[in-house]
């Protein structure tokens, strides 16, 4: 993954303190710099320390420290492999019909007016990144009164390092940032977020995390969504929503998808990139979905035709097995109950880790307030540690987390919890 821009600090804030500034785009042919995650993983692998810990991964890790496979998913894979009715053939270019129907339902709910009014279509994609890329390509066709639209696109600060590069690869070079995480408050700063979006030109695209914000784990409240959607509607902006780890915040697909449902209920047109790799443990399958909600059914048909054409030039057909697994679970009430139980266990374990980590830091007398650890949800957590403290952890304690102090909470387990807690305490109390 590549860095989203050349802004001087790790949150993309300009030297004048304005996070809404435009990211510079170089036209040079130099080899792209390694992403922070790539550098961290390389450093971790070459580290010979016995107690080293890697907290910057993307997958869900179980208590044993390994990526987790749901029992039900393994069982369904075996059933599908022996099903004589499933032949090895290419799926349709826009994906398996039952999968796209169930993925749409997971995001919009079972009784969406947009679906009933025939203003919605979905496209199966080979993973979350592919869903974002296809959405980026379609943005140029969403504004039927502006055939030359090419931005700007507003990303949160911080955000997934790969996002800017995905939009740029689609020919959208005007990438900007809006304020999101506040280091001092250790939470979302709505006031500065609104100030940045208020200055955004009409027809700007605003990329918003619907749940499980990466890398902070800090999501918008329902009240904050209400205020932001009013601004988006008034300023004629376009929402591009992200659901990279749907169900892993609250243990429920539809509850995690509430912001998507809310935006659609307000009559807003939108794009939403979904992924099912996390919540189904299908990391090798790359199961993604792009949901498109338009204002009129006529525009839906035009966008769907454009999506079909674009898919043909990007990946032709998505893979079938992962989508079959997801559709099989979501279609079968008994499977769905079992899957929801497994996902709720994951969510409860992640929250328990947050609670214990917060309490251990309190007992050690670690400086600062740590309430934010339990106010965040999902796989990711922003500790609030600064760059110097993060460097201390990697150099002296062999613990690797993202430069902004964010980490994957599921990578903490019973074997490394005490060591990590002591190390964070030392990072805040040791003078080098």
Residue 169 sits in a domain whose CATH number is: 3.40.640.10
Which of 333, 356, 377 is the C-terminal boundary of a domain? 333
Residue 50 CB burial class (10 angstroms; 0-12, 13-18, ≥19): exposed
Same domain, 214 and 97: yes
Q: Which domain holds residue 94?
A: 71-333
Residue 34: closest CA among 146, 122, 165:
165
Residue 143: CB atoms within 10 Å: 16
> Quick one: pLDDT band at residue 267, thresholds 50, 70, 90?
very high
Higher pLDDT, 141 or 408: 408
Q: Which of 228, 296, 218 is CA-nearest to residue 262?
A: 228
pLDDT value, residue 20: 47
**Where is the domain boundary, 304, 333, 362?**
333
- Model pLDDT, residue 91: 78
pLDDT value, residue 33: 64
What domain count does the chain have?
2
Q: Indicate which CATH number applies to the domain containing 369.
A: 3.90.1150.10
- Token digits of residue 168: 């740029």
Taking a C-beta distance cutoff of 8 angstroms, is the pair 286, 319 a contact?
yes
Q: What is the band of 145 on the pLDDT scale with cuts at 50, 70, 90?
A: low
Based on the fold, state whether residues 403 and 282 are members of the same structural domain: no
- In a domain, residue 367? The reply is yes
CA gap 292, 300 in Å, rounded: 8
Alpha-carbon distance of 318 to 90, in angstroms, equals 8
Q: Which position has the token pair 């009013």?
A: 230
For strands 153-157 and 175-179, give the pairing: parallel
- Give tens-digit pLDDT for 85-131: 776 677 788 999 999 999 999 999 988 999 999 999 999 999 999 99
Q: Do the domain assignments include residue 168?
A: yes
Torsion of CA 103, 104, 105, 108, to 10 degrees: 130
């Amino acid at each position: 993954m590549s860095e989203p821009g050349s802004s001087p600090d790790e949150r993309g804030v300009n030297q004048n303190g304005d996070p809404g500034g435009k990211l510079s785009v170089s036209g040079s042919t130099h080899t792209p710099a390694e992403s922070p995650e790539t550098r961290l993983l390389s450093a971790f692998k070459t580290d010979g320390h016995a107690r080293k810990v890697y907290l910057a991964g993307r997958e869900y890790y179980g208590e044993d420290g390994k990526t987790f496979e749901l029992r039900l998913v393994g069982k369904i894979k075996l059933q599908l492999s022996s099903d004589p009715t499933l032949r090895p053939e290419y799926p349709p270019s826009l994906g398996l019909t039952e999968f796209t129907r169930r993925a749409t339902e997971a995001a919009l709910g079972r009784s969406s007016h947009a679906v009933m009014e025939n203003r919605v279509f979905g496209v199966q994609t080979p993973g979350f990144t592919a869903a974002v890329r296809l959405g980026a390509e379609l943005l140029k066709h969403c504004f039927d009164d502006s055939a030359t639209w090419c931005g700007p696109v507003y990303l949160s600060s911080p955000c997934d390092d790969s996002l800017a590069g995905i939009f740029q690869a689609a020919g959208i070079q005007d990438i900007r940032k809006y304020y999101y995480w506040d280091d001092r408050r250790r939470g979302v700063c709505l006031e500065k977020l609104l100030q940045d979006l208020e200055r955004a030109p009409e027809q700007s695209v605003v990329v918003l995390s619907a749940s499980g914000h990466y890398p902070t784990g800090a999501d918008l409240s329902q009240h904050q969504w209400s205020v932001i959607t009013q601004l988006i509607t008034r300023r004629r902006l376009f929402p591009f929503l992200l659901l990279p780890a749907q169900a892993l915040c609250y243990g429920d697909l539809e509850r995690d998808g509430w912001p998507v449902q809310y935006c659609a209920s307000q009559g807003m047109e939108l794009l939403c990139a979904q992924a099912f790799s996390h919540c189904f443990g299908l990391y090798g399958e790359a199961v993604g979905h792009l949901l498109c909600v338009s204002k009129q059914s006529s525009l839906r048909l035009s966008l769907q035709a454009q999506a079909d054409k674009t898919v043909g030039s990007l990946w032709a057909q998505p893979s079938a097995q992962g989508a079959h697994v997801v559709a099989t679970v979501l279609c079968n009430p008994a499977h769905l109950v079992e899957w929801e139980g497994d996902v709720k266990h994951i969510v409860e374990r992640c929250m328990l880790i947050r609670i214990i980590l917060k309490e251990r830091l309190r007992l050690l007398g670690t400086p600062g307030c740590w309430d934010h650890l339990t106010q965040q949800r999902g796989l990711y957590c922003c500790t609030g540690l600064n760059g110097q403290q993060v460097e201390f952890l990697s150099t002296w304690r062999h613990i690797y987390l993202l430069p902004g102090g964010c980490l994957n909470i599921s990578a903490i387990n019973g074997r490394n919890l005490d060591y990590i807690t002591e190390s964070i305490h030392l990072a805040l109390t040791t003078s080098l």
